[in-house]
Amino acid sequence: MMMETLTTVLKWTASGSGIIAALMVSLDSGRRVTGWGFVIFVGSAICWIAGAVLARDGALGTQNGVLLGINAFGVYRYLIRKKAPG
């Protein structure tokens, strides 16, 4: 029962944070807001992966492993990398 509750909490946390991150990225409010949206996406993917492991859902875990990499690149691109002079 405890594992089922933890899985549910992880999935709802992942879902809510993913919605917030998508809104932040879609608003196009500048590099900093978009970058922090990607940070939240990273957290969401980690929650989804943990929930997938607990639920033994390989497809969900695989999808979010890939999304974790994509979103980590977004963090690098928007928050870490210096924008090339234009």
pLDDT tens digits, 50-76: 999 999 999 999 999 999 999 999 999
Is 58 inside a domain boundary? yes
Tens-place pLDDT, residues 1-46: 788 999 999 999 999 999 999 999 999 999 999 999 999 999 999 9
Domain range for 54 is 7-80
Q: What is the pLDDT of residue 86?
A: 62
Residue type, 15: S
Structurally, the chain folds into a number of domains equal to 1
pTM for the whole structure? 0.91
Question: Quick one: CA torsion of 50, 51, 55, 61, rounded to 10 degrees?
Answer: -70
Q: Is the pLDDT of residue 83 over 80?
A: no
The answer to the question of residue 1 being in a domain is no
64 falls within a domain: yes
- Residue 49 contacts residue 64 (beta carbons within 8 Å): yes
